[in-house]
Amino acid sequence: MSTSILLPPVVMSLNGSDPSGGAGIQADILTLASLGCHPLSVITAITAQDSSGVADMLVMDAEWVLDQARLLLEDMRVAAFKVGLIGSIENVAAITELVSDYPDVPLILDPELANTGGHDFADEELLEALRDLLLPQVTVLTPSSLEVRRLASNDPDEEDSLELADAARRLTALGCEYVLVTGAHENTRQVTNTLYHGNSVVRADHWERLPTGYHGAGGTLAAAIAGMLASGAQVPEAVREAQEYTWQTLKHAFRPGMGQHIPDRLFWARGGVDEDEQPA
């Protein structure tokens, strides 16, 4: 009697390496594995960093990025792409070329423009390349409120005054199918994350604001969305479920070093979730 083996969905992460495990491709691997996916890892940059911030960064040559990805894509069927730190205009072009060959595979982009320690990952030329090349390929873009204003504005003087809804609509006009604006940086009692599609709000989810800062929260959310989509969820459902998972990783976060807390992507393996820990 033969038995069939259900293969886990395969998700390709193209991201920088964070040796602390808090963010970057290491966090993507943990998140995707936690959600039952098989992660493929394509390194776009190597960083020297700890839980406090980035000290230095070495961006991979674009041909190396393509070579890593092409070999894997010729070998395995990928159910979703997740892109984080890109590092250079050349890598923007390379990743755009790569994903354009797979138009039916959802692409989730976490636009890592700067880290919480203040290290800037993107200049204006890279932002322009993102707008012109990669954003039209994106299924779900997951910027923070700071990132969405920066991405949507060509005028630095406009960034602080730009309404989040207007910024999101500018980006959907560039070709992004969905834009999920996260509100952790806003001065509000609760964190509100809003999903836009065209000129419409698809959903707005409100979460208890937790008391500390985290290293890798945004990347965890984007990777979780990629995992949910790879497992067959539709975008609104994937966004909701990914937020729930991410909130739990932050609720159970730990501080292994002298910097920020790190989300616990394997919280469920250490006792599960109590009823009183569910978000309001």
pLDDT per residue of the chain (280 residues) written in tens, 0 to 9: 455 678 999 999 999 999 999 999 999 999 999 999 999 999 999 999 999 888 999 999 999 999 999 999 999 999 999 999 999 999 999 999 999 999 999 999 999 886 655 566 778 899 999 999 999 999 999 999 999 999 998 776 676 778 999 999 999 999 999 999 998 888 888 999 999 999 999 999 999 999 888 999 999 999 999 999 999 999 999 999 999 999 999 999 999 999 999 999 999 998 755 545 555 4
Q: What is the pLDDT of residue 277?
A: 55
Count of residues making up the chain: 280
Residue 274, pLDDT score: 57
CATH code, residues 10-268:
3.40.1190.20
What one-character-per-residue DSSP string does 229-266 give?
Answer: HHTT--HHHHHHHHHHHHHHHHHT-B--SSS-BB--TT
Amino acid 3: pLDDT: 59
> Looking at residue 244, what is its pLDDT?
97
Find the helix packing angle between 217-230 and 235-251, rounded to 10°: 140
* pLDDT score recorded for residue 36: 97
Tell me the domain boundaries of the chain: 10-268
Q: Which residues pair with 140 in a beta bridge?
A: 108, 178
Residue 221: what residue type? L
Q: Give the pairing type, strands 140-141 and 107-109.
A: parallel
CA–CA separation, 83 vs 110, rounded Å? Answer: 6
At residue 152, the pLDDT reads: 93
